[in-house]
Amino acid sequence: MRRMIEASTKEILKIFRDTVLCERYTNIEGLFQRLDPRVKFLATIALIITAVASGKIIIQLAILVLTFLLALISRISFKFFIVRTFLFIPLFAVVIALPLPFIISGEIVASFKINGMLIMVSREGLWEMLIFVLRVWACVSLSILLILTTKWNSLLHGLSKLHAPRLLIVILNMTYRYIYFFTDMLYKMLIARESRLTGPVGTLEAIKGGASALGSLFIRAYEKGEKIYLAMKSRGYNGEMKTMDDLKIHKLDIIFSVLVGAIIVMMLVMQMFHEFPFPVF
């Protein structure tokens, strides 16, 4: 288990470093890459709001399918995208949603006894759990699609054109820079630790080592963070992120916005008027 966690941590960091931080997919000629960052951002937010507001599985599934289609048209490998997006689901959503079938009352579909205590699983609870996981998956996929296909600087430039508060942009910018170093530093620390291991390490020892490494990482990240900010300031950064992109709304942006808008309206109409066979569904 410990080995698996260590290997996964290293792998996640490597993937994050080599794909997201490298902005590998931003230079590929795909649909999402060609869109104006403002359009992409607003469309993503609109779809996320729709997913969050809807309690129907079909809507969540529709948004998921749409996101995967957009990823495909944006020339992101299907395998890559599904693995990256699903990675967070078992980690967070499933764990959080796991108690739902046991605590939501409704039609009992299964029951069992643990130490004399009767545990019941309800159908409504299972549906709620499924909706929650799909909702998180849809929102995470949309966010990952936006991040994978947009240069961070362009996104911030777009946000500033949308009159997002300057403080928010500064915070987002600094967070991104720090995540970069945080990830890189943690990855290097794990590699350095591995290179000095000459035998198996006990779980307790590994936990102690991990805690100490984490402490050291925070101190180093803090110091580095300060230096990054000073380095940016010394080269003229004043809180406003400038890029080479001249933001212009093209025909493609208008068509995309209209299409997304129409899809969202369609979903809302379906949600309001369509009678689904199952009350939750």
Q: Which residues bind another protein (CB under 8 A)?
A: 17, 21-23, 27, 151-153, 177, 180-181, 184, 224, 227-228, 230-238, 242-244, 246
Residue number, 42 or 228, with CB nearest to another protein: 228
For the bound state, the minimum distance from the C-beta of residue 158 to another protein, rounded and expressed in Å, comes to 16
For the bound state, the minimum distance from the C-beta of residue 25 to another protein, rounded and expressed in Å, comes to 12
Query: Which amino acid type is present at position 178?
Result: Y
Residue number, 119 or 231, with CB nearest to another protein: 231
Residue number, 124 or 184, with CB nearest to another protein: 184
Residue number, 221 or 268, with CB nearest to another protein: 221
Report DSSP letters for the chain, one per residue: -HHHHHHHHHHHHHHIIIIITTTGGGGS--HHHHS-HHHHHHHHHHHHHHHHH---HHHHHHHHHHHHHHHHHTT--HHHHHHHHHHHIIIIIHHHHTTHHHHS-S-EEEEEEETTEEEEEEHHHHHHHHHHHHHHHHHHHHHHHHHHHS-HHHHHHHHHHTT--HHHHHHHHHHHHHHHHHHHHHHHHHHHHHHT--S---HHHHHHHHHHHHHHHHHHHHHHHHHHHHHHHHTT--S----S------HHHHHHHHHHHHHHHHHHHHHHH---SSS--
For the bound state, the minimum distance from the C-beta of residue 199 to another protein, rounded and expressed in Å, comes to 30
Residue number, 205 or 240, with CB nearest to another protein: 240
Residue number, 46 or 228, with CB nearest to another protein: 228
For the bound state, the minimum distance from the C-beta of residue 22 to another protein, rounded and expressed in Å, comes to 5
For the bound state, the minimum distance from the C-beta of residue 141 to another protein, rounded and expressed in Å, comes to 22
Q: Alpha-carbon torsion 51, 52, 58, 60, what sign? A: positive
For the bound state, the minimum distance from the C-beta of residue 242 to another protein, rounded and expressed in Å, comes to 5
